[in-house]
Structure 1
């Protein structure tokens, strides 16, 4: 199931290399502010959840935003399952610029 969602990205990290047993690893993780489940009245507020965003090269696409964290983005996401458990993955992020205040174009009082 694919969908788009506006999210608050609080962090990113990538990992790439080879473990001692020869197994290769290559991934980017995105940390997203996510509402805690308050349905049982045992939690409130938000926490950061970790989502996969492909391979380590994805991290490089957002490296220029280092001074902008946290930032809002539109995420293309998908819920996938192996038949027993499900997880949500992010396929792409499109950062959303914060609205800038409108410049005053009118005449000033007393002018």
Structure 2
């Protein structure tokens, strides 16, 4: 199931290399998420989502955080556990961060 959501991106980091002979290449994105209503807590937290390879980081590297974006996500399940995968991230028109 695909869904689109307006989100606030709080941070991101790419990771690429080799560990014990096994290559890895990914980007993690940290998106603001509201705390579940009814819990004895308030406010928001950031949730980590995998977003493909480290090449995706290049698309948002020069943006100033936090920024608003449209997230395209896919919900998948193996019948027991459910996961949300970040398919794409489309930032609103945002000025690049100052050097």
| Bin for the TM-score computed over the shorter chain | 0.7 to 0.9
Unaligned runs of 5+ in 2: 95-99
Are 2:43 and 1:45 equivalent residues in the alignment? yes
The residue number in structure 2 matching 1:72 is 68
The residue number in structure 1 matching 2:6 is 6
Equivalent pairs counted in the alignment come to 94
> Of the two, which has the highest radius of gyration?
1
Q: Distance in 1 between matches of 2:28 and 2:78?
A: 20
TM superposition score normalised by structure 1: 0.78
Bigger fraction of residues in helix: 1
RMSD: 1.3
Q: Distance in 2 between matches of 1:80 and 1:29?
A: 18
Bigger fraction of residues in strand: 2
Query: How far did 1:38 drift?
Result: 2.5
Q: How far does the alpha carbon of each residue in 1:79-108 deviate from its partner, in whole angstroms, 9 at most, with x for none?
A: 11233211111111111137xxxxxxxxxx
Q: Distance in 2 between matches of 1:62 and 1:70?
A: 11
SS of match in other structure, 1:90: strand
Q: How far does the alpha carbon of each residue in 1:34-80 deviate from its partner, in whole angstroms, 9 at most, with x for none?
A: 011122x3121100000111111110111121xx2100001111111
Q: Pick the aligned partner of 1:87 from 78, 83, 89.
A: 83
Unaligned runs of 5+ in 1: 99-111
